[in-house]
């Protein structure tokens, strides 16, 4: 039997396993034949084609050769060159550069199309409360109180949002909640101080003062909920005020329901504050002090560097709010001090912020794809600028459609009486809205100082030339849009801006 098995094996193997004479078989290692080595440099280039085509320096090819087992002695004997690096240089010259396409990366800017629309609705819904409150807010100092409340809350909420997003970006959500909770309290104190100062300068009725404080509190509470992604809670806070205000307007603002209107309007800021506090206080980490070693200091919630970094955001919120409310503040002398164009454009501009958010994401996604696919910096800059113009035109188109829809609905419901004389003011607001969109786009890419300086200059010019009324606003807002767009085309044309 053993002889038959041995006869079936190759002779070399059979002799190693014994010859059937009673000798004990010996352990052996079966040697595998190595693949044939490339005969010349051309074959070697074919074997290392991927490395050679993607290499930016011969050292990369030399490293691949050494990793494959080639030494100076081996290449000298096989190919007649002095060393591995000389062979790598020769291969680098022979093979043209054809870098391999990078592996597709996950789209970090893939967001739901409905979320920006939802945010736009959340931005626009409070305007219904303003329309209802206009019928019950009477007395001296109403406009001044509203302007101070809006400007202070806009500035503080922008700074608060910046600090909250900064902590979330650092991957510490618990710390972000603590910052937002502390900032919410500090912001309310700031609004209260601003309201006290204006009430010292101008006698203000208590209901007006309370409404202004509620407005500022709502803005801060809504900011906290939006930063934490709690849109559903913000909807719950807005529901009583918006539903009650809408019913009050549809019923023709009856005098006997004014107290009910006040109650439902007051419910919204109270709910926004309560839900914001509950959302930021959630989790055991916020109810217990962190454990630390003896002799060490507790981590600081915020540093002075953090506060300084939030100042441009606060300044931009203040200046942007000033640009938006300035036409309302100065009024229109030919229409009894009521700026119909500003009333027509206010709600569409608030709703258009949802479209602006979507366009920002759209622009960011497309520039990231372009950055991966384009090899020439000039081509990248040209295409990026074309996408900037496309995004701006898309935002403008959406805003025009929103203005047309709101004007038609408001006119048919009898809330306002649209007239062609309001078109210039609407045009000024359109230019301002586009300027705000470009400013937000620049801030999204880390450029915060230039938009702040440009908007502050525009506001100063509007105040200086307020006697020109809507003509001055059109010229200044259009110039602001042109300046910001040109700067964005130059700044965003740089590939370094899109690297993060």
Closest by alpha carbon to 39, among 6, 73, 4, 80? 80
Closest by alpha carbon to 265, among 237, 290, 292, 233? 237
Residue 226: pLDDT over 50 = yes
pLDDT bucket at 110, cuts 50 / 70 / 90 = low
pLDDT single digits (tens) 128-180: 787 777 766 766 678 888 889 999 999 999 999 999 999 888 887 888 999 99
Give the mean pLDDT of 278-282. 88
Rounded to whole angstroms, the Cα distance separating 430 from 419 reads 17
- Phi and psi (nearest 5°) for 10? -60, 155
Rounded to whole angstroms, the Cα distance separating 406 from 404 reads 6
Q: CB burial class (10 A; 0-12, 13-18, 19+) of residue 62?
A: buried
pLDDT single digits (tens) 59-69: 899 999 988 88
pLDDT single digits (tens) 450-500: 999 999 999 999 999 988 888 999 999 999 999 999 999 999 988 888 765
Rounded to whole angstroms, the Cα distance separating 347 from 349 reads 5
Percentage of the chain modeled with pLDDT above 70: 82
Half-sphere exposure of 75 (CA within 13 A, CB side): 21
Residue 18: pLDDT over 60 = no
Give the mean pLDDT of 225-246. 92
Q: Which residue has the higher pLDDT, 367 or 142?
A: 367
Structural contact between residues 75 and 83, judged by C-beta atoms closer than 8 angstroms: yes
Q: CB burial class (10 A; 0-12, 13-18, 19+) of residue 161?
A: buried
Give the mean pLDDT of 245-265. 85
């Amino acid at each position: 039997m053993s002889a038959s098995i041995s006869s079936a094996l190759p002779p070399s193997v059979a002799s190693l396993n014994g010859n059937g004479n009673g000798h004990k078989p010996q352990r052996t290692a079966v040697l595998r034949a190595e693949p044939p080595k490339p005969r010349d440099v051309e074959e070697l280039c074919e074997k290392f084609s991927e490395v050679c085509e993607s290499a930016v320096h011969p050292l990369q090819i030399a490293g691949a050769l050494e990793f494959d087992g080639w030494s100076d002695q081996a290449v000298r004997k096989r190919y007649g060159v002095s060393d591995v690096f000389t062979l790598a240089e020769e291969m680098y010259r022979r093979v043209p550069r054809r870098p391999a396409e990078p592996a597709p990366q996950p789209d970090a800017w893939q967001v739901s199309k409905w979320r920006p629309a939802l945010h736009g609705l959340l931005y626009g819904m409070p305007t219904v409360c303003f329309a209802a409150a206009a019928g019950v807010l009477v007395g001296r100092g109403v406009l001044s109180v509203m302007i101070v409340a809006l400007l202070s809350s806009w500035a503080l909420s922008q700074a608060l949002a910046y600090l909250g997003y900064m902590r979330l970006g650092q991957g510490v959500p618990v710390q972000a909640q603590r910052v937002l909770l502390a900032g919410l309290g500090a912001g309310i104190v700031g609004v209260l101080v601003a309201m006290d100062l204006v009430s010292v300068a101008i006698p203000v009725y208590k209901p007006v003062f309370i409404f202004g404080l509620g407005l500022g509190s709502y803005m801060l509470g809504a900011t906290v909920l939006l930063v934490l992604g709690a849109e559903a809670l913000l909807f719950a806070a807005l529901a009583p005020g918006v539903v009650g205000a809408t019913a009050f307007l549809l019923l023709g603002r009856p005098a006997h329901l004014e107290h009910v209107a006040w109650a439902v309007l007051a419910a919204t800021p109270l709910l926004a504050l309560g839900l914001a506090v509950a959302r930021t206080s959630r989790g055991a980490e916020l109810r217990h002090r962190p454990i630390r070693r003896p002799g060490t200091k507790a981590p600081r919630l915020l540093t002075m560097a953090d506060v300084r970094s939030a100042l441009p955001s606060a300044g931009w919120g203040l200046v942007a709010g000033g640009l938006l409310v300035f036409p309302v503040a100065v009024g229109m002398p030919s229409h009894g001090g009521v700026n119909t164009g500003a009333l027509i454009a206010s709600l569409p501009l608030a709703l258009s912020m949802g479209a602006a958010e979507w366009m920002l994401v759209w622009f960011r996604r497309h520039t990231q794809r372009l950055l991966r696919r384009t090899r020439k910096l000039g081509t990248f800059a040209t295409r990026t600028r074309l996408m900037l113009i496309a995004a701006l035109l898309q935002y403008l188109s959406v805003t025009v459609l929103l203005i047309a829809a709101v004007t038609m609905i408001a006119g048919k419901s009898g809330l306002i009486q649209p007239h062609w004389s309001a078109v210039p003011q609407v045009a000024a607001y359109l230019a301002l809205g586009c300027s705000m969109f470009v400013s937000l786009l620049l801030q999204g890419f880390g450029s915060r100082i230039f938009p702040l300086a440009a908007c502050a200059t525009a506001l100063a010019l509007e105040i200086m030339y307020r006697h020109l009324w809507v003509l001055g606003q059109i010229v200044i807002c259009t110039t602001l849009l042109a300046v910001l767009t040109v700067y964005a085309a130059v700044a965003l044309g740089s590939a370094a801006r899109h690297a993060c």
